[in-house]
Amino acid sequence: MAAPLPIKHWIRLKTIGEGSYGAVSVARNLEDGGLFAVKSATCKDEEFLECLEREIDILKKLDSPFVVRYLGQDRDGEGKVNLFMEYMEGGDLCSLSMRSKGLPEMAIKTYTAAILRGLEYLHEKGIIHCDVKGRNVLLGLSGEVKLADFGAAKMVSSELPAIHAGTLRWMAPEILERREQGTASDIWSLGCTLVEMATGKVPKLPEKFSGISDSGLDFLDKCFMPEPSQRWTASQLLHHPFLASTSSNQILCSPRTVLSESSEFNFPGGLNQNSGILNPNQRIKTFSICQGLDEKQWTETSTTCNGFDENERNKILTSCSDFDEEQTIETLKSHIALEAKQRMKTLISCCGFDQEGWESKDWITVRSSMAGELRALPCP
């Protein structure tokens, strides 16, 4: 694997989550405009430093389209460490599953196959992830699915004292019993992640799984064998009939995403070239497309919420993931001719999203070199 170019000058944009050792943010490389994720933490003791160094050593060994790429690190004189990682614009699998209140089986198959490709790669290199769960599976905008957060990972051959790591509801029984944690422990966690995808909830075992095919239930049986030696391996599970119709090998590595403030593009309403901030109509267009709504209903200045008939209101409501139906209908009725910013607020609140995030000045315009099209994204 070619060593990544050092990142020397960068700025932090917005916090997007928590990793094993600290906060994760989106950042911008000031030299080339590239976006990346940065995990930052302050080293407080020797044990923490040893864990962090072990994570870095493992990350340097990895080069797979199913594993988030490590881009480097920097440290300051006060003991603060910043780890640079590939930025995945699509968020994590846990959030998608919860927002959708469970995923359709075809999507579950696709994500499961990609996770298994990542685990197969890690296990062949003698690496145990130790914390497989939806929150640690990141998604790209072009269909990429990648394992992330190696803060708990370890080598199979490690001579260090045993560290039983992971997240409780995803932990294999041998970990709870303080027995050896091996690659089979990752397979148990994968089964829990499949349940997480199917239900949109934290997995609870044992549980009767409704809405999963017989083939899927047999797949779970192979993951949940009580004895680790009897559990199927990642390679074996990739050939299970449950995944027969998937093609995870076609998922490509995420392209580098760069700011396109200097690019020419056709985006309605105009764009502030100096700041890269989207105006309300542009945000409405992006949001409505993401939610599968008719963008013209929300971007045309003549749009009136009061003018929607019952079928149109129901179409909007059924396209939203989280909403109070009675309250939303009243909201739509109460506005006759909304300005763009008001329409944006109404649309965002109807869909159960955080208004502050969608109104934030942290919006930036980026271009995906693979997709060849403009993408407008909020910093989550």
Whole-angstrom Cα distance, residue 19 to residue 220?
28
Buried b (16+ CB within 10 A) or exposed e, 82-116: bbbbbbbbbbbbbebbbeeebbebebbbbbbbbbb
Q: Residue type for 233, please? A: T
Phi and psi, residue 302, nearest 5°: -85, 0
Contact indicator for 336, 308 with CB cutoff of 8 Å:
no
Whole-angstrom Cα distance, residue 90 to residue 108?
16
Question: Which 8-state DSSP code applies to residue 292?
Answer: T
Q: Is 142 left (phi over 0), alpha (psi -120 to 50) or beta?
A: alpha
Q: Could you tell me which of 323, 339, 341, 340 has the C-alpha nearest to residue 331?
A: 323
Whole-angstrom Cα distance, residue 284 to residue 296?
10
Whole-angstrom Cα distance, residue 170 to residue 115?
15
User: Is 131 a residue of the active site?
Assistant: yes
Helix (H, G, I), strand (E, B) or coil at 374: strand
Whole-angstrom Cα distance, residue 122 to residue 146?
12
Whole-angstrom Cα distance, residue 380 to residue 377?
8
Whole-angstrom Cα distance, residue 313 to residue 309?
6
List the catalytic residue out of 32, 57, 74, 131.
131
Is 39 known as a binding-site position? Answer: yes
Q: Read out DSSP for 230-290? A: GSPPHHHHTTSGGGTT--GGGPPPPPPEEE-TTS----TT---TTT-PPPHHHHHHHHHHH
Positions marked active-site: 131
Binding-site residues for ATP sit at 39
> Binding site membership: which residues?
39
